[in-house]
Amino acid sequence: MKEHTVLITGAGSGIGKGLAELAARSGWHVLVTDLDRQTADATAQTIAARGDRVEAFELNVTSSDSIRQVMEALAGRRVDVLVNNAGLQYVAKLEDFPQDRWDLIVQVILNGTCQMTRAVLPGMKRHGFGRIVNIGSIHSLVASPFKSAYVAAKHGLLGFSRVIALETAPTDITINTICPSYVRTPLVEKQIANQAKEHGISNDEVIREIMLKPMPKGVFISMEELFGIVAFLVSDVARNITGQAIAVDGGWTIQ
């Protein structure tokens, strides 16, 4: 693969951390960003210990000032690939859903993606190349109870991506959304406990009856699978794949 510079949001843990480590292992220069500077540094230290190229930045994707500071720190250096991964979850019935949590989820997942994309597009256009990969979810395509904010925000990524795909069509820039079903991350572990509480069942029952039952293949998605798709979308042979939602769901949505 070509040696790209990739900026990953929410890379201090979970999917973002896994993608950062695999991207660095593949020879890319990784810009690890996270709201928590300590977790960003920890991810970067793990990568640097293997001798791979990495930098860490504190970044709040809901803050235009924070985004500007990171872009200024890069001093005009190109960002070839942006992975919009930052996100959070909260599980509750709508009438019990704190409005501030609802707003924050949409701010991070949808508005954050918008602001980060706006920040990197001018540089991508100057250099004549760019790849934007949004980490969506199976919940970009279907709904589940008790996740109104998350489902709304993840659905919004698809509409946003389609518009930006049209706006960048004259250039070698693409934007796509990967829509995985469950990946075994700390965020999903927390969801298991929350879902168990809401449904009044055990954690094992949540995994078996709620998370994996809709998937004919019946297994969690691996980090290697996700990075393989990212790498393909970044490659030259994917230059005509843009504005798409790519389901990685073990057959969930074909039923």
What phi and psi, each to the nearest 5 degrees, are found at residue 247? -80, 130
CA dist 144 and 56 (Å) reads 35
Q: And the tokens for 223? A: 């980090």
Please, how many CA atoms are within 13 Å of residue 124, restricted to the half-sphere of its CB? 26
Domain boundaries, the chain: 5-181+221-254
Residue 95 carries which DSSP code? Answer: G
The Cα 134–Cα 154 span in angstroms is: 10
Q: In this predicted structure, what is the pLDDT of residue 1?
A: 60
Name the β-bridge partners of 248: 180
Domain 5-181+221-254, CATH among 3.50.50.60, 3.40.50.720, 3.40.50.1100, 3.40.640.10: 3.40.50.720
Residues 186, 248: Cα–Cα separation, whole Å: 19
Q: How far is CA 133 from the centre of its chain?
A: 7
Contacts (Cβ under 8 Å, ≥6 apart) of 162: 243
Q: For the chain, 255 residues long, give each residue's pLDDT as a single digit of tens.
A: 678 999 999 999 999 999 999 999 999 999 999 999 999 999 999 999 999 999 999 999 999 999 999 999 999 899 999 999 999 999 899 999 999 999 999 999 999 999 999 999 999 999 999 999 999 999 999 999 999 999 999 999 999 999 999 999 999 999 999 999 989 887 788 878 888 988 899 999 999 988 899 999 999 999 999 999 999 999 999 999 999 999 999 999 999
Distance, in Å, from the CA atom of 173 to the CA atom of 228, rounded to the nearest integer, reads: 19
Q: In this structure, what token pair is assigned to residue 168? A: 């960048």
* Catalytic residue (one of 90, 129, 146, 150): 150
- Backbone Cα Rg of the chain: 18
pLDDT of residue 82: 99
Active site residue 150: yes
pTM for this prediction = 0.93
